[in-house]
Structure 1
């Protein structure tokens, strides 16, 4: 009996490592942000597939912009997944582990800044094409984007050279806040300019009476980057109340992932001559299509020959042709 009791008392029990509540909340925010970010990345990949299918003849500069953005998004997704794996699996029992002590965490600000800079160049060019009076605003937005990227690059440098997280947080964390604030301001400026131009475009005025209010709101949200602006504001607001940076990282992940989705969403909502068939002259110039509009729409001309009465009701700067999905109204390159 005593031997059995000694054996029972000598058996090792399970090791219990209590996790602080604040750490559990931080890990949960990081995990949720990563999961949602992967979902948004999947949506962006689907939009990239549609873009390649619908617009194979886009200009080289625009394709380079799209593929560069998606390459950066892919790297960003890998970094966030590695960050989750380190925090929750390999170094779960390291209470002193900080965001910027992990290599993937150190690179997140840099890749976020690059994604914002590259994707927002498209909307800056859109502002440029609205009219000559907007060229000053285009230059302003490009300078702001360059400043935003500069802050994130400098912040990344200090992250790698700082002795520890506390030293960086006390001396240089304002660089990330400044970069985020500039990105937010640039988003709002571009959204306001594009919304103004879209509202006063001829095509929008022609179609607004026959379009549902929800469709108009969706069109504005996609084509002006409104959604990414909202999340950029949220990311900027949550920087200050938290010191561990895992909770703000959740918002940064979502905000960064929306830039690629917004870019591809705006590109894919352009009229496609392959499926819906509206090609505007200004749109052909905006998106790098150097081919003459008449040559680029040979199939459209053939369709118009079969139905000449359909062409009489069209504006002079727009060529439409029928399809299974019906005609789509052009937005004059916006």
Structure 2
């Protein structure tokens, strides 16, 4: 059987994707080190989450390295390798990449839950998209192990496109939802609104980057399924998700001066539409008692002026 082979868009593309993925992993390791150094008293849940994401990405990179080594070193010059079933590490890497993306997306879905005052419909829609992608990706992985030739990847184009399409849709829905609900938290005070605007820009930028990479992978897979260019983009995708998650955690100090080191209470001003200023005592910990970041546990009237800066801290805490 003849092999349609171009070393640049097959082995070359795989190596380029491996190099880019290694660079992103380096950034992730730096962010993880920065997180553990800056937030030694952060919640155990977040520490375990960061450690889990880092371990998943280290394993993911190991699988990518094994696959690239197999095709570019162990079988150097053996063109018929493309006619054989895909190496196991190349197929299994898909599952690990989806696992990282799922952790990050669920975490962002919880942010939507908090900022939307526990809007169950929007949050459920996001989670449905997330776990729908997981299910389709698992089916793709199982079928990938059954392929008789690497050149037959195009035969799974439909299910692969569905998985990538769900990923794009999830990123877009999360970004749009965060922007919409964050805008509703504007108080009219410059400092608070500046904080909200910064979070909106961050949501758009991170969601836009991951959606763009997913969409690029989807397009390349549909138009060029018989080379490795789309794989190069997919190698990077999970690292981008992981870095966006760590960046969200590490920017809390910039936004508020500290992370979720402990559950304290403070007074957060709420500026009502009629211009009346009240004080609401809320827990800065957004996970406390299942409350949303702007839902008070107690409300009390206070005639003294209140600085709006604490609400800016509260936005960062919920973020």
Give TM-score scaled by structure 2 length: 0.76
CA-to-partner distance for each residue in 1:231-277, whole Å, 9 max, x for gaps?
12222221111122411001111222100000001111113699568
Matches within 5 A, 1:144-163: 144-163=129-148
How far apart are residue 288 of structure 1 and its match?
A: 6.6
Cross-structure match for 1:265: 247
Distance 2:103 2:259 in 1: 29
How far apart are residue 118 of structure 1 and its match?
A: 1.3
Cross-structure match for 2:219: 237
Say which SS state the counterpart of residue 64 (structure 1) adopts. Answer: helix
Residues 190 and 22 of structure 1: CA distance in aligned 2, closer, same or farther (over 3 Å): same
Which blocks of at least 5 consecutive residues in structure 1 are unaligned? 1-18, 291-310, 320-327
RMSD (Å), alpha carbons:
3.5
How far apart are residue 187 of structure 1 and its match?
A: 0.7
Cross-structure match for 2:270: none
Residues 74 and 318 of structure 1: CA distance in aligned 2, closer, same or farther (over 3 Å): same
Distance 2:215 2:127 in 1: 19
- Asked whether the 8 Å contact 1:59–1:288 carries over to 2, the reply is no
2:100 counterpart of 1:115: yes
Distance 1:123 1:277 in 2: 17
Say which SS state the counterpart of residue 64 (structure 2) adopts. Answer: helix
Residues 80 and 120 of structure 1: CA distance in aligned 2, closer, same or farther (over 3 Å): same
How far apart are residue 28 of structure 1 and its match?
A: 1.9
* Larger-gyration structure (1/2): 1
Aligned residues: 284
Cross-structure match for 2:179: 195
Cross-structure match for 1:219: 202
CA-to-partner distance for each residue in 1:112-144, whole Å, 9 max, x for gaps?
211111111110100000133632111111111
Cross-structure match for 2:272: none
Distance 2:228 2:283 in 1: 42
> Which stretch shifts more, 157-166 or 250-259?
157-166
- Asked whether the 8 Å contact 1:144–1:186 carries over to 2, the reply is yes
Say which SS state the counterpart of residue 307 (structure 2) adopts. Answer: coil
Distance 2:252 2:19 in 1: 30
CA-to-partner distance for each residue in 1:153-186, whole Å, 9 max, x for gaps?
111111223333455642x342222111111110
Which blocks of at least 5 consecutive residues in structure 2 are unaligned? 267-281, 291-303
How far apart are residue 218 of structure 1 and its match?
A: 5.4
Q: After TM superposition, where is structure 1 displaced by more than 6 Å over at least 4 residues in a row?
A: 208-211, 277-283
Distance 2:85 2:49 in 1: 29
- Asked whether the 8 Å contact 1:203–1:331 carries over to 2, the reply is no
How far apart are residue 58 of structure 1 and its match?
A: 3.1
2:165 counterpart of 1:181: yes
